[in-house]
Amino acid sequence: MNLVIDIGNTLTKVALFENEALIHLHTYPVFNAADLPFYYKKHRIKKAIISSVGANPEKIVNHIRENEEGRALMLDHQTPLPFKVDYKTPETLGKDRLAAAAAAFHEFPGQNILVVDAGSCITYDVLTKDGTFQGGAISPGIRMRYNAMHTFTQKLPQLKPEEGAEITGKSTAECMHSGVLNAAVCETDGMIEKYLQRYDNLQVIMTGGDLIYFDKKLKNNIFARPKIVLKGLNIILENYFEN
């Protein structure tokens, strides 16, 4: 059994994998080393991987190594990956982007791949068919766009996303929903089109917490993979200890 801990900007996801199968997933507002015994006492965990986009997870890693007597990997830019990375600043590359790329490469080996992750930011990452991570683009996410309109204007309210925004709003709130949600879909379609023009036989995968606002609304065909980051972390963990 593998333990996968993904510490994001707002939530921490903790998953258990048996080989490649995801068998347990729980989300925490805050996760720390004191929560680990719950997993190690109930399951036969052989190894663990910890990924964090911000907070330092060193205490969690050390707890596993010292108290649980387990093998633990803290993902960073020096961790061996199942693909090459052609990126000018690998130390600044988001670990969630690397994990999603690992899962995409595993699912579509030998093909050009675009991974779109609709989270706090919307990221676009390309893996070419020779197994090279090329980089991509970063754009403000849906909630960031709502927050920006409220923060940088005096009268626009603080809103949360709602499904089914009409293109022509009849109130300030409806106009904001249209401007955020419909524009984000159009932007994503446009970015996908640009990558399709550059890379032949491109497989497009989309994931992220805001996937629901894009899935079935995009003109371009995509493979929706909501848990691809967790699956990618498990693949990186297996790759690390196998080698």
Task: Catalytic residue, from 35, 76, 86, 96: name it.
Answer: 96
Question: Which pLDDT tens digits describe the chain residue by residue (243 residues)?
Answer: 999 999 988 889 999 999 899 999 999 998 988 899 889 988 989 999 999 987 778 888 888 888 877 789 999 999 999 999 999 999 999 999 999 999 999 999 999 999 999 999 999 999 999 999 999 999 999 999 999 999 999 999 999 999 889 999 999 999 999 999 999 999 999 999 999 999 999 999 999 999 999 988 999 999 999 999 999 999 999 998 876
96 annotated active-site: yes
Alpha helices in 6-80 (DSSP H): 36-42, 58-67
- Measured at the CA of 94, the angle between CA 150 and CA 195, to 5 degrees, comes to 85
Residue 203 in contact with residue 110, Cβ under 8 Å? no
In the chain, what are the domains?
A: 2-74 (3.30.420.40), 84-230 (3.30.420.40)
Write down the number of H helices and E strands in the chain: 7, 11
